[in-house]
Amino acid sequence: MKKWFFFLYFLSTTVDAWPQAVPSKDENIPFLVTFGNKAKIEWGDDDFSQVFFFLIPETYAGMVFIRIFDADTGGKNDEVNGQFDTKMRYSLYGGKYAYSHNDAKNVDPVGNYKSGNLLVTKIVGQDPKLDDNWLTFGPFNPTEGEYVAESKSHAFKLICEGITGDDGNMYRYFMSTSANENIAIEGGNAFAFEYSFRLYDDPKQVSHIYPFVDEKTFKIQQSNFDWDDDGKIRVSSEVRHEQFCPISGDGVWAQSEFLIMEGEKGKSLNFEFIKKKPAVLNNNVVIYIRNQYGESMPFFSSPIGGVPKYKYTISSQKVKK
C-alpha cells in the first residue's frame, strides 16, 4: 500500500497555472526528447523511448484530450542528423495494468511495459501539418484509464518510441478538456519515472525536476546520462541547502547516492540543472532516480507539496553537519 502513498497528495498540490503541461512551467524544460532508434546514444537518448502517465481525479467526469506539440520529426524544433528520416510511434494506453504493471514503472523499455489497453496509436515522420503545431488524441472518457482506488483517480500512459531514423524529436504534451485549446483539468497531474529532455542553450535558464519522496524512502540513487559535462546538478529541499551530484560526460552515465533527511519525506526534492558558460548547445540528457529498494521514483509535473524552498533553521543547520 505504501507505494500509493504519493497519490494521496496529488489532489492537494499547489495549483500551478499549467499543471498539465509536460514539461510544466515549474520544470522550465524546453522540450522532451526521443531519438530514432538508429541514432548513436551519444546524441543524448539512451533507449529511444519515453513513457509518461497522466492522472485524472475521479471527480472529473468530462472528456479528456491528450495533445502533443510538434509530434513530427522535421521542420522546426527538431534535431537533424544528416537529413530527417525518423519516425515516432505515439501510443496511448488505459485499462487494467496500464499503470499498475511493474514493467510500466521500469526506467527501461523491457518486458510488458506496454501493459493495458491500447486506445490509440499514430506513427509520425516529417509532417508539415504537425510541425510546430498540436496533434490531439481523444476524446476519452476518464474511465477508459486505469482506475487507481488509492488515489481516486484514473491513469493513462503515453509512450513515444523512435521506430526508425537517427534524428532527435523534440515535443511536449498537454492533458486538456478541449480538442483545440490547452485547458487544464482541475486536480490533474502527470509524471514519469525517467525523463529524456533538452536543456536550454541559454546558461541563465535553470531546469528542474521534482522527485517525490515517500515515507519508506531513506536513501536515493540518482543516475544521469550524456550531460556533456555541462555545469552542475544541485539538489535542495526545505531542509537541504544544496548538494551537488556528479555529472556525466558524452554518452555515459554518472550515478551517486545520498541519504534522505528528516523533513524530506512526503514532499518533493528539487533537482536543478545549472548550465556552465559558455553553454553546451543542443544538450539532450536523461535522468532517473531510485530508492534504496531499486524502485523508480516519480517526477510530477506539478510537484507534490509544491516547489520545495529551502528554509534556513537551527535544526536544518544541525542536520547539515
Which parts of this chain interact with Ca ion (CB under 5 A)? 44, 70, 72, 75-78, 81-82, 85, 131, 166-167, 169-171, 226, 228, 283-284
| Cell digits of residue 55 | 492522472
**Which residues are paired to 35 by β-bridges?**
168
Three-class SS of residue 64?
strand
Distance in Å, CB of 255 to Ca ion, minimum: 16
Distance in Å, CB of 162 to Ca ion, minimum: 11
Backbone angles phi, psi at 10, to 5 degrees: -70, -25
Residue in the block written with cell 500509493: 4
Distance in Å, CB of 273 to Ca ion, minimum: 11
Is it true that the peptide bond before 23 is cis, omega within 30 degrees of 0?
A: yes
Query: Cβ closer to Ca ion: 155 or 170?
Result: 170
| Cell digits of residue 33 | 526528447
Cα–Cα dist 109/196, whole Å: 13
Distance in Å, CB of 84 to Ca ion, minimum: 6
Query: Cβ closer to Ca ion: 3 or 40?
Result: 40
Distance in Å, CB of 78 to Ca ion, minimum: 4
Query: Cβ closer to Ca ion: 124 or 235?
Result: 124
What single-letter DSSP state applies at residue 242?
Answer: -
Query: Cβ closer to Ca ion: 146 or 228?
Result: 228
Query: Cβ closer to Ca ion: 150 or 202?
Result: 202
Could you tell me which residues come within 8 angstroms of residue 321 by beta carbon, excluding any fewer than 6 positions away? Answer: none
Which contacts of 243-247 are long-range, i.e. CB under 8 A and separated by 24 or more positions?
245/271
